[in-house]
A = this chain, B = another copy of it.
Amino acid sequence: MSQISAEARIAPTGERTVDGPVTLMNRFAVQPGRDDAFHALWTETSKYFRAQPGFISLRLHRAVAPDAEYRWVNVANWESEAHFRAAHGTDEFRRVVTQPGWEEFPSSPMLFEVITAVGP
């Protein structure tokens, strides 16, 4: 398997930078039977992000349907896009997302603003 670059792990930018809160949705392709290996590597890697300024919360989800292309999705909230970008611009970021094992799990990161919220 070939290496996946650190750049491929960063959500694309928009025409402007969002001042307020942003939400990352990062989808991961994980082959059947590799859930435990993925979850262990993701958990180790997430420690970096959880310690960065502006990190608020995350939820890691697994699809109910077994045949989804991207069966795992991390949804993470950050205080601002500037915080989010700063966390993705460090040498430590490059190290953790290119560590051995990650080449097995391609991802598709996208950044969002919350437009409507209902409930807790």
Which A residues fall within an 8 A CB radius of B?
Answer: 11-15, 18, 22-23, 25, 39, 43, 46, 50, 55-68, 72-73, 75, 77, 81, 110-120
Tell me whether A25 and B110 are in contact (CB under 8 A). Answer: no
CA distance A15 to B14 in the complex (A): 39
Tell me whether B43 and A116 are in contact (CB under 8 A). Answer: yes
Number of copies: 2
In the complex, what residue of chain B is closest to A72 when comparing beta carbons? Answer: B115
Q: Which among B43, B63, B110 is the interface contact of A112 at CB below 8 angstroms?
A: B63
A77 to chain B, nearest CB (A): 7
Tell me whether B61 and A113 are in contact (CB under 8 A). Answer: yes
Tell me whether A61 and B14 are in contact (CB under 8 A). Answer: no
Tell me whether B118 and A65 are in contact (CB under 8 A). Answer: no
A-B contact pairs, 22 of them (CB 8 A): A11-B64, A13-B64, A13-B65, A14-B63, A14-B64, A14-B66, A15-B66, A23-B59, A25-B61, A56-B120, A57-B117, A57-B119, A58-B116, A58-B118, A58-B119, A59-B114, A59-B116, A61-B114, A62-B112, A63-B110, A63-B111, A64-B81
